[in-house]
């Protein structure tokens, strides 16, 4: 499917690839920032957020692998995403106040 904006043709698949790349960069920067904060301050109370954003990063990688027709690796990365979300929720529930 093609459509025109400012007399340029954009492909919907190319836009999705760009959006996935942007999300991948954003999630990795957030996860790296949270891990650097924890290491510098020795405060590990935000580790559940770091794990959550690493999981979201794995989800974007899994979607990209599905687009490349690499199904096994895509399912593996989506499984990692689900496990990291589970661990993140569990650590949020059991974080002492």
Arithmetic mean of pLDDT, 78-97: 89
Name the percent of the chain lying above pLDDT 90: 67
57 band by pLDDT with thresholds 50, 70 and 90: very high
User: For residue 18, what pLDDT is reported?
Assistant: 87
Residue 63 tokens, joined: 């979607």
Q: What residue has token string 């891990």?
A: 35
What is the mean pLDDT of the segment spanning 43-47? 89
Distance CA 62, CA 57 (A): 9
In the chain, which ranges are E strands?
A: 2-5, 8-11
């Amino acid at each position: 499917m093609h459509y025109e904006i400012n007399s340029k043709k954009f492909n919907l698949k190319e836009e999705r690839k760009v959006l996935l790349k942007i999300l991948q960069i954003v999630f990795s920067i957030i996860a790296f920032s949270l891990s650097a904060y924890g290491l510098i301050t020795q405060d590990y109370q935000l580790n559940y957020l770091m794990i959550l954003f690493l999981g979201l990063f794995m989800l974007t990688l899994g979607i990209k692998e599905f687009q490349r027709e690499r199904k096994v690796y895509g399912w593996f990365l989506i499984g990692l995403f689900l496990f990291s979300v589970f661990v993140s929720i569990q650590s949020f529930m059991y974080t002492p106040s």
